[in-house]
Structure 1
Amino acid sequence: MNTSVPRTRAPASRPGEAGAPMDAMAGVPEVFDEPTDRARFKRVAHRPGIELYRAHIVHHAFRPHCHDAYGLGAIERGIERFRYRGSEHLAGPGSLVLMDDDELHTGRAETDEGWRYRMIYIERPLLNALLGLPEGASPHFRQAAVDAPTHGAQATALLDALWTATEDPLQFDGLLAEFAQRIVAPNLPPAGAEQAKATHREPVWLPRVREYIEAHLLHPLDLERLAREAGLSPFHFLRSFKAALRVTPHAYVQARRVFRAKQLLARGIQPADAATAVGLVDQAHLSKWMKVMFGVTPGAYSKSIRG
């Protein structure tokens, strides 16, 4: 477990109490069950493959979910606890959060004040281009949480600048390249980003099963069919899948369905249509899963992207 941040639960000022800091995200729609939890998304018209995100979370606990992009960001205030690749991690003020693409993870507050953070999600082809890597490269970060206050402050400043520069393509791309050079590249393995590989080996059948799941999200999936795709007995497959991805096949399938629905919402598809297009029962089902995985309802996410 990453223990670079002390596990202290010091009393924290609640928003609105004397001594509480001003909320830099005033005006954010209250899309969580608790008004203290706020989040915003933003996409960049001229640069596909990027999503910006900023949030202040106190009560919400994110269920296992994934992104088809690298999640790169920094904690401004408070401490986050998250589970990633089978281990618990703590990220406190000034910490970098560096997650590989398509890795399931959770997230919740470790202290009473919650945590305020900023992220940028960059799809692999674009990240490779920014780092000057071959088109098929698969960079992997050594640590998911890095206690590096100087880099954390730089990342926060660059992410703020990127958020305000989305309407100026030239400025945005310059800041994006700077973020890759100053924040991303130094945190790849020392052997060189071009040789960075995963430290864990995945089963040879896993890519085949993943491809099958992606191609059949619209249809009911059962353990026996997935096990046949892997060439294993059902419960051998169940144990092996969970050992490889740290979640059950059901949790993985639900995460993929909700992420695909999120992509459709970003394209302007209505929530009810997005739900049925990925094999979810209805809009209410999609709303439930989006709230526990991403902290927003489908309507709030669509509004945030459009705005």
Structure 2
Amino acid sequence: MNAVPAAFEHPHDAAQFKRVQRAGIELYQAHIVRYAFDPHTHEAFGLGAIDSGVERFRYRGGDHLAPPQSLVLMNPDVLHTGRAETAQGWRYRMIYIDAQVLAAVSGERGWWFADPVGHDAATARRVSALLAAMWRSDDALAIDGALLELVDAIRPHARGARPPAARTAAPDAALDRALALMHDRLGDALTLEALAAEAGLSPFHFLRRFKARHDATPHQMLMALRLFRAKERLAAGIAPAEVAAEVGLVDQAHLTRRFARMYGVTPARYQQQLGTRPARRAA
């Protein structure tokens, strides 16, 4: 029996993913009233618009509010949460686009967003309309055209590169070694001591330093990385039970519970939405 039902507990909560013909792009639309998303990452730019309601989310150590007709502008590899700030929840549309795809579409490298919320109602309405058109269309050429229009609309909110403060604060070779170990050993039961040893720090010095840099504990980061890897493997059509074992989760029920808490849908529903659900084996 699955730990999480196929639908949200609240009847108005709903989330859907959709693939388009171009690799490195995923569309998402949702209306969330009661649900609260665990810290998670998409390892891609998360660009979109709030259609109604207000979202509260934690991002880079701060709490942010995204009101109606505002832009959501998230950089890759940043853990974030999400919950409704208003009683009616919030309704929004997003596109998750890999950095190399964004560079190819825009013709520019090094895009970076200083603020995760853009207060630009006209552009937010335009972005929402373009995302809705991409969702409805089955015409690859039309989708690519809408994608270019969307990128052009958002361009004024992007920096050419990370702000200088972010560049100087980000490098930390010790923590980067520990993060690389997480990526390399997602299926292993890592300990604080093992991660700290990789960083060359005492365990609790490492823990404090990691939390200060990432606004997350090593366990939260490891779980987010595991679930993102699981998302990639599910999108490739791998069976959830096999994926759970690959990324170091206890079993399929554990994967189902954690995946739904981070992305708002169960693994089975995610595969169903993308059309990658594995075929049942004959008895």
TM-score, normalised relative to structure 2: 0.91
> Aligned letter for 1:168?
D
After superposition, give the CA deviation of every residue in 1:206-229 in whole Å (9 maximum; x if it has no partner): 332222111100111011111111
Q: Say if 2:268 is the partner of 1:296.
A: no
Whose relative contact order is higher, 1 or 2, with alpha carbons under 8 Å and at least 6 apart? Answer: 2
* Equivalent residue for 1:226, pick from 167, 176, 195: 195
> Aligned letter for 2:122?
T
DSSP-derived class of the 1:272 partner = helix
Q: Which has the higher helix share?
A: 2
Question: How many residues in Structure 1 have an aligned counterpart in Structure 2?
Answer: 269
* 2:107 alignment counterpart: 132
Call closer, same or farther: CA 1:33–1:199 in 2, change over 3 Å.
farther
Once residues 61 and 99 of structure 1 are traced to their aligned partners in structure 2, the CA distance between those partners, rounded to angstroms, is: 18
Offset at residue 257 of structure 1 (A):
0.6
* 1:186 alignment counterpart: 156
Contact 1:79 1:111 in 2 (8 A): yes
DSSP-derived class of the 2:102 partner = helix
Once residues 194 and 99 of structure 2 are traced to their aligned partners in structure 1, the CA distance between those partners, rounded to angstroms, is: 30
After superposition, give the CA deviation of every residue in 1:39-86 in whole Å (9 maximum; x if it has no partner): 110012x31100000000000000101111110000000000000001
Q: Say if 2:106 is the partner of 1:106.
A: no
Report 1:127-276 matches (<5 A).
127-134=102-109, 137=110, 139-165=111-137, 167-183=138-154, 185-189=155-159, 193=160, 195-197=161-163, 199-200=165-166, 201-202=169-170, 203-276=172-245
Offset at residue 198 of structure 1 (A):
6.4
Contact 2:70 2:117 in 1 (8 A): yes
Once residues 106 and 270 of structure 2 are traced to their aligned partners in structure 1, the CA distance between those partners, rounded to angstroms, is: 30
Offset at residue 188 of structure 1 (A):
1.3
Once residues 198 and 6 of structure 2 are traced to their aligned partners in structure 1, the CA distance between those partners, rounded to angstroms, is: 43
Offset at residue 204 of structure 1 (A):
2.5
After superposition, give the CA deviation of every residue in 1:153-207 in whole Å (9 maximum; x if it has no partner): 0110111111122x32211111111111112x11113xxx2x4446431223233
Matched-pair identity in %: 50
* 1:37 alignment counterpart: 13
* Equivalent residue for 2:32, pick from 30, 37, 57: 57
Call closer, same or farther: CA 1:198–1:81 in 2, change over 3 Å.
farther
Once residues 261 and 232 of structure 2 are traced to their aligned partners in structure 1, the CA distance between those partners, rounded to angstroms, is: 17
* Equivalent residue for 1:74, pick from 49, 55, 60: 49
Contact 1:50 1:122 in 2 (8 A): yes
CA RMSD of aligned residues (A): 1.5
Call closer, same or farther: CA 1:157–1:77 in 2, change over 3 Å.
same
Contact 1:140 1:198 in 2 (8 A): no
After superposition, give the CA deviation of every residue in 1:96-120 in whole Å (9 maximum; x if it has no partner): 0000011100000001100000000
**Where does the alignment leave 5 or more consecutive residues of structure 1 unmatched?**
1-28
Contact 1:31 1:295 in 2 (8 A): no
Contact 1:188 1:196 in 2 (8 A): no
Offset at residue 305 of structure 1 (A):
1.1
Call closer, same or farther: CA 1:90–1:198 in 2, change over 3 Å.
farther
> Aligned letter for 2:8?
F
TM-score, normalised relative to structure 1: 0.84
